[in-house]
Amino acid sequence: MSSRSLVVFAGSSGLGSSSLSLVSPVVRAVLRADFGVSVGCSRGADALVLSAFFAVGGLPSDLSVFAVGGSSGRDFWRGSAVGLVRRAASAGSRVFWCSGGPLSFSLPRRLRSRSCACVRSAGAVAAAGGRGAFVAFVSGGFSASRGSWAAARVALRAGLPVAAYGRGYAATAALRLH
């Protein structure tokens, strides 16, 4: 992976395993285009991205995971994909533990901060002259995926191209990696 190219993935925590057929080709295309993958730690879209990454044989150096909990496995929320995060860590991928801030912060605040940190990773690459992008896999429209859309707004403000793939409502998307 070029250190100057990164795609941040985010999306609905309620996205089911049936959406793996939507997520896998996008993750595969990103890796083939020599982009790294940056993702959060939740079930749903984050877990599907991690599963697709492992299934297509992504290199550990091509993956960064932003985790709301600590390396001990504690302090995650019930919607976390702790097993996949641990798999990434044990494979040698970069895992940013407690990336949402200290445990004294409320869970919603830590989740928002974690998502912002993940998006900023691609923003920093783009600001340094590299290429960055943001991809969201969402279900149920705007009201059901508030966190995903908030992260997309952060990405847009950072000047990143944004693509959103939808399930459960009418949507179209095109992934732009330039």
The identity of residue 32, as a single letter, is R
- Domains delineated in the chain: 5-167 (3.40.50.450)
Instruction: Find the range with the poorest average confidence among 41-55, 84-98, 164-178.
Output: 164-178
With bands split at pLDDT 50, 70 and 90, how would you rate the model's confidence at 62? very high
Query: Do residues 75 and 68 make contact, with C-beta atoms less than 8 angstroms apart?
Result: yes
Answer whether residue 25 shows pLDDT above 70: yes
Mean pLDDT on 123-131: 83
Q: What is the mean pLDDT of the chain?
A: 88
Mean pLDDT on 97-106: 93
pLDDT of residue 50: 98
Relative to beta strand 36-39, strand 162-167 is unpaired
Give the count of beta carbons closer than 10 Å to the beta carbon of residue 86.
Answer: 15
Q: pLDDT tens for residues 2-18? A: 457 999 999 999 898 99
Among residues 162, 42, 160, 152, the alpha carbon closest in space to that of 107 is found at 42
pLDDT of residue 105: 93
pLDDT of residue 172: 42
pTM of the model: 0.89
d(CA 162, CA 137): 11
Among residues 178, 143, 56, the alpha carbon closest in space to that of 166 is found at 143
